[in-house]
Structures are given as C-alpha cells and as structure tokens.
C-alpha cells in the first residue's frame, strides 16, 4: 500500500466536475483507492462519496492506493490534483 498527502489548491475544491475527473482517473486502475480528509474516508471510485467529502480549497487530502498498479494510480491522481484537475498523463481530460 502506498499513500501521498496533497493540498487541494483549486478555488472550488473538489466539487462535482473535479470529483468526476478524479473518479474517472481512479477507475482506470485495478488498485483499491481511498481518499481521506480530517478522518473521513471515501472510495475514490465513487462520485457521491467523493463529493460528500466536501474538500475545499487549501485542505489536505491523503490518497491511498493498494494493488498491482498502486504507484501509477497515485502518480496520475497526484498529477491531476496538482494541475487543478485539468491534466493527467499530459492530456486534458474532459
């Protein structure tokens, strides 16, 4: 299992559009992926649970991945968060 902690810098936090991009990216991987914020935990492949985390700008999240492609999953999700939810693998995801 691997994890990384990131600050969400997007003005709107992880609302519906960023959550959708995050979930779609997480679903590309076999690994189980969870996101934690202040003790709350959400399945990164579930759009409702991601939105209900209510992540706002400036808050930290911990992303945990456990499985055969955990390293690649964390790299892509970190890149997505750091790009303000616009880039993954140097491609814009719409």
Identify the pLDDT of residue 94. Answer: 39
pLDDT, one tens digit per residue, over 33-60 is 999 999 999 999 999 999 999 999 999 9
Hey, what are 43's tokens?
């399945």
How far is 80 from 78, CA to CA, in rounded Å? 5
Residues with catalytic annotation?
Answer: 15
Domains by residue range for the chain, with CATH: 2-85 (3.30.1340.10)
- The SS3 of residue 65 is strand
Phi (first) and psi of residue 27, to 5 degrees: -70, -10
Query: What is the model's pTM?
Result: 0.90
Model confidence at 87, in pLDDT bands (50, 70, 90)? low
Q: How far is CA 17 from CA 34, 58, 70, 72, in A?
A: 18, 18, 24, 22
């Amino acid at each position: 299992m691997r994890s990384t902690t990131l600050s969400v810098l997007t003005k709107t936090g992880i609302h519906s559009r960023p959550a959708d991009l995050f979930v779609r990216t997480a679903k590309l991987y076999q690994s189980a992926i969870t996101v934690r914020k202040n003790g709350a935990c959400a399945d990164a492949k579930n759009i409702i649970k991601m939105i209900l985390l209510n992540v706002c700008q400036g808050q930290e999240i911990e992303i945990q991945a456990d499985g055969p492609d955990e390293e690649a999953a964390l790299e892509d999700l970190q890149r997505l968060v750091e790009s303000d939810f616009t880039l993954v693998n140097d491609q814009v995801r719409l």
